[in-house]
Structure 1
Amino acid sequence: MKEEQSNSSLSCGGCGVSLQTESPELPGYVPQAALEREPIICQRCFRIKHYNEAASVAVDQDDFLRLLGAIGGTSSLVVHIVDLYDFEGSLISGLSRFVGNNPVLLVVNKIDLLPKSLNTNRVRNWVQQQAKALGLRPVDVVLCSAKRNIGFERVIEALDYHRKGRDVYVVGATNVGKSTLINRLISDYSDMEQELTTSRYPGTTLDAIRIPLDDGKAIIDTPGIVYTSRLTEVVPRSFLGALLPDKPIKPLVYQLNDGQTLFIGSIVRFDFVKGKRQSFTLYLSNALNIHRTKLERADELYQEHKGELLGAPSEEELASVPEWTRHSLQVAKGSKQDVFVSGLGWISVNSTQGAQLDVYAPKGVKVMLRPSLV
């Protein structure tokens, strides 16, 4: 049948990727009805060409690393977009190894989610220190909110200064706001009267999209990498609205004695196992339900009330979520630390008296201690 053959043999006339009609979130998606058009282009190219709007697509880690490796053979500026709310979960570890001598501009998105009282210079210094500790030495760090149009003029200034007439590769994990930022760059930079051109990389069928610039160079929009170590990738999609904040976070402060537990919805559990009475500040979506109880009752309470008293996800939805893994964390005396849970946010340990903590999160989700952001 002609239609079945077309799905597997046709390539996008814009970016060259193999076309498919099953999964809108993956590269090459085209609605079935669009297969009759000439030329046939994927939905992502169609939206860029006709609406100056890029759609976000995702690839697995192996494909993404092959894509990054090809950038090392070019002379380009690499713009790495990360989510401030999920910094360690969205930073591409080892990026410098893949992109060779090309400079990396680190654009930190979603600054609008932080409490307005936070000093942005302090946040920027913290980002630089954390990036360095994680092996990335960017030529510049820019804080912005693509959604709220905060700091975008600074992004443009930094891009102009560091590009030096080269192509620009935009890389990032899924859900960091990459497509929103790309759309702003398209409207500021690109002459979309030109046709989209193909950028094929050896060793993979994955293609990036070249968005032509007025000087003959291009912004290359790469698919987002999926990190399964982020809570956002393992919870039901119906729960994402509660999990991901869309307005400034209102920190929640809890005074806890050791032997007390906080349930964060029915998805994460925080135990204060041992230490002097102290306060902990939760920087999480305010749509999440927080429930405090005694540690000795925590197991029983969870079994009896998950998905109900403890909040979403529902018990039925939890069946598709990996079982909890316990992470035992020791906060040293004299240190100010955050307990970071990728995709959820973080909990600041406000005292410097030290604490023994256990955090339960779905298996595979990144849980770690880090220097305090606030």
Structure 2
Amino acid sequence: MTDIATKQDQEQLNCAGCGVKLQQQDPAKLGYVPQKALEKEPVICQRCFRIKHYNEASGITLDQDDFLRLLGHIGSTKSLVVNIVDIFDFEGSMISGLPRFVGDNPIILVVNKIDLLPKVTNLNRIVNWVQRQAKQLGLKVVDVVLCSAKKNMGFDRVIASIGEHRDGRDVYVVGATNVGKSTLINRLISDFSDLESELTVSQYPGTTLDMVKIPLDDGHYVIDTPGIVYKHRLTELVAKRDLARIMPDKQLKPLVFQLDEKQTLFFGGLARFDFVRGAHQSFTIYLAGGLTVHRTKLDRADELYAGHLGELLAPPSKADAESLPPLVKHALHIPKGVKQDVLISGLGWIKLNSETGAELVVHAPKGVKVIAREALI
């Protein structure tokens, strides 16, 4: 009998941080735990230990089929589903086909990271915007709650909504990677459970690798599920060392550019925004402070990109640029009389401040979602 099997007779066989099944056979595979780690409380795998103590990234994640397998049985249960999304990347962090997974179970839509929005933002308007977007995406929700798990803003409202709609059922918490799901779960642990361990929380996608069940006082559970990995989000494609530069961790400071047609903005070397045709107008850029925006003429943009990628236009570095998919064009027609954003999933968005219309071309790595939407702010 292995040491882990002996440990299981007394406690558990899964990592207290990410939920993955523990093993001692292969350090390169998920769930590896050194012998010494078994003597500590709680028991966490080597991957979680390195993330927690050294902020190291791990290239090990579950594939898409495994994620879908884990979520697929929720529809056969009688549960409350809490779907967490990221306000900074709302469309990119929505789970496509979620109603198919959850069946008739009620859904609370928790919109995290509202601390990133400028202070002047009207939060009631944000709630209304979220409700309209969710409806367009075919998601029927019983409540929309804005919060910041990191800043502990709106968390009481999340708890109240769960209490109102749970009706004695288990609670499944679902979301894409990096939406702040584990941070929110840790708040639940501290408030409603005797469980001493905390889930592994880091800036790296795919931290939770299996379902983690947190017991509640009434014999039911809060179940944390793995984050869905969506390759249409730029955060899934860039080098891990660049994540901190494109993922904002503090309130956004919008940048306003007055542009004439045939001008271009570069966001580092990760994306490009061409104002091809339209009246002189202003554009407000919402992105992390670690990215530099460069303006140039449209007819010089190709030359600038070819000659300065990885230097003036960074991130990515020259070495990392080769591992990114090539930039592809997205032509967008913004009609007159509407206020629109252009979202580049995982990077941020550009708001058109006038309603005069515009012809735009956005260049983003192949596969990254680029859409026009109703203006958020």
Deviation at 1:88, TM superposition (A): 0.4
2:170 is aligned to 167
Report the Cα distance in structure 1 between the residues aligned to 2:336 and 2:129, rounded to whole angstroms. 21
> Is 2:353 the partner of 1:350?
yes
Q: TM-score, normalised by structure 2?
A: 0.85
* Cα distance, 1:145–1:207 mapped onto 2, change above 3 Å: closer
Report the Cα distance in structure 2 between the residues aligned to 1:224 and 1:22, rounded to whole angstroms. 23
2:337 is aligned to 334
1:31 is aligned to 33
Deviation at 1:64, TM superposition (A): 1.9
SS in 2 for 1:242: helix
* Cα distance, 1:40–1:328 mapped onto 2, change above 3 Å: same
- Mapped contact 1:190–1:211 kept (Cα < 8 A): yes
2:21 is aligned to 17
- Mapped contact 1:59–1:225 kept (Cα < 8 A): no
- Mapped contact 2:71–2:225 kept (Cα < 8 A): no
Report the Cα distance in structure 2 between the residues aligned to 1:319 and 1:106, rounded to whole angstroms. 38
**Paired positions, count:** 347
Report the Cα distance in structure 2 between the residues aligned to 1:165 and 1:230, rounded to whole angstroms. 36
- Mapped contact 1:58–1:225 kept (Cα < 8 A): no
* Cα distance, 1:36–1:245 mapped onto 2, change above 3 Å: closer
- Mapped contact 1:45–1:209 kept (Cα < 8 A): no
Selected match of 1:310 from 310, 313, 316: 313
1:138 is aligned to 141
2:204 is aligned to none
Report the Cα distance in structure 2 between the residues aligned to 1:313 and 1:280, rounded to whole angstroms. 24
> Is 2:216 the partner of 1:213?
yes
Structure 1: unaligned runs, 5 residues or longer: 4-9, 48-55, 195-205
Deviation at 1:29, TM superposition (A): 2.3
State, as a whole percentage, how many aligned pairs show the same letter: 59
Aligned-residue Cα RMSD (Å) equals 2.8
SS in 2 for 1:356: strand
CA deviations 1:234-254 (Å, max 9, x no partner) are: 011111111011110011010
Deviation at 1:96, TM superposition (A): 1.1
Report the Cα distance in structure 2 between the residues aligned to 1:22 and 1:324, rounded to whole angstroms. 36
1:367 is aligned to 370
* Cα distance, 1:216–1:246 mapped onto 2, change above 3 Å: same
Deviation at 1:46, TM superposition (A): 9.1
1:259 is aligned to 262
* Cα distance, 1:297–1:38 mapped onto 2, change above 3 Å: closer
SS in 2 for 1:72: helix
Report the Cα distance in structure 2 between the residues aligned to 1:193 and 1:302, rounded to whole angstroms. 51
Q: TM-score, normalised by structure 1?
A: 0.86
Report the Cα distance in structure 2 between the residues aligned to 1:181 and 1:44, rounded to whole angstroms. 23
1:53 is aligned to none
1:82 is aligned to 85
* Cα distance, 1:22–1:226 mapped onto 2, change above 3 Å: farther
Report the Cα distance in structure 1 between the residues aligned to 2:61 and 2:192, rounded to whole angstroms. 24
Report the Cα distance in structure 2 between the residues aligned to 1:185 and 1:97, rounded to whole angstroms. 26
Selected match of 1:245 from 239, 242, 248: 248
SS in 2 for 1:286: coil
Report the Cα distance in structure 1 between the residues aligned to 2:341 and 2:309, rounded to whole angstroms. 26
AA aligned to 2:34 is Q
AA aligned to 1:367 is V
> Is 2:104 the partner of 1:105?
no
Report the Cα distance in structure 1 between the residues aligned to 2:242 and 2:262, rounded to whole angstroms. 29
Deviation at 1:135, TM superposition (A): 1.0
Deviation at 1:45, TM superposition (A): 12
SS in 1 for 2:241: helix
CA deviations 1:95-125 (Å, max 9, x no partner) are: 1121111101111000000001000000010
Report the Cα distance in structure 2 between the residues aligned to 1:141 and 1:44, rounded to whole angstroms. 37
SS in 2 for 1:225: coil
Report the Cα distance in structure 1 between the residues aligned to 2:80 and 2:165, rounded to whole angstroms. 7
Selected match of 2:95 from 59, 73, 92: 92
Report the Cα distance in structure 1 between the residues aligned to 2:157 and 2:108, rounded to whole angstroms. 12
Report the Cα distance in structure 2 between the residues aligned to 1:31 and 1:18, rounded to whole angstroms. 6
Report the Cα distance in structure 2 between the residues aligned to 1:109 and 1:362, rounded to whole angstroms. 26
Structure 2: unaligned runs, 5 residues or longer: 4-11, 50-57, 198-208
Report the Cα distance in structure 2 between the residues aligned to 1:129 and 1:345, rounded to whole angstroms. 20
Report the Cα distance in structure 2 between the residues aligned to 1:349 and 1:325, rounded to whole angstroms. 22
SS in 2 for 1:85: helix
Selected match of 1:292 from 287, 290, 295: 295
Report the Cα distance in structure 2 between the residues aligned to 1:155 and 1:187, rounded to whole angstroms. 14
SS in 2 for 1:279: strand
1:203 is aligned to none
* Cα distance, 1:105–1:58 mapped onto 2, change above 3 Å: farther
Selected match of 2:304 from 275, 291, 301: 301
Report the Cα distance in structure 2 between the residues aligned to 1:370 and 1:209, rounded to whole angstroms. 35
- Mapped contact 2:115–2:251 kept (Cα < 8 A): yes
SS in 2 for 1:224: coil
AA aligned to 2:31 is Y
AA aligned to 1:187 is S
- Mapped contact 1:245–1:285 kept (Cα < 8 A): yes
Selected match of 1:225 from 217, 228, 232: 228
- Mapped contact 1:58–1:224 kept (Cα < 8 A): no
Deviation at 1:367, TM superposition (A): 0.5
